[in-house]
Amino acid sequence: MNVPPPVGAIPLRAENQQDDSEGTLVQRAQRGDEQAFATLYQLHNKLVYSVCLRMTKDVAEAEDLTQEAFIQAFRNLNSFRGGSAFSTWLYRVAVNTVLMKLRRKSPPVLSLVYRGTRHLSNARLGKMI
């Protein structure tokens, strides 16, 4: 007897069934199970940290961004639809978190390119006036 999956459940494709317990953890976390999310954190925190460290090259910043990425993942967990591995989705969350941080803190760009305009020295200007 085949029982249909519950409404809102993440369908697991064959390529996503490499670790069925992870899919179950994601489903439980989407239903609000904090322990399931904590387990997902334990499984993936090194991946997220390494992405953040590779992009920032700063240990303290990478630690902060790892925490921020998991906060974003927790807030947006229901947007994960199971079309890819959870780690792939989480990787993108981490990359986007770092990129947003870098955009916020980057100074405005000032162009110092010479445009070909002739500049007159003050001495030459004085003679012309």
Q: How far apart are CA 19 and CA 45, in angstroms?
A: 17
Q: Which contacts of 58-63 are long-range, i.e. CB under 8 A and separated by 24 or more positions?
A: 61/101
In the structure, how many helices (H) and strands (E) does the chain have? 5, 0
Half-sphere exposure of 94 (CA within 13 A, CB side): 27
- Neighbouring C-beta atoms of residue 68, cutoff 10 Å: 18
The structural domains of the chain, ordered by start, are 14-104 (1.10.1740.10)
Per-residue pLDDT of the chain (129 residues; tens, 9 = 90+): 454 555 555 554 444 443 458 999 999 999 999 999 999 999 999 999 999 999 999 999 999 999 999 999 999 999 999 889 999 999 999 999 999 999 988 676 676 776 665 555 555 555 555
**Which pTM does this prediction carry?**
0.66
Residue (of 44, 47, 94) closest to 73 by Cα position: 94
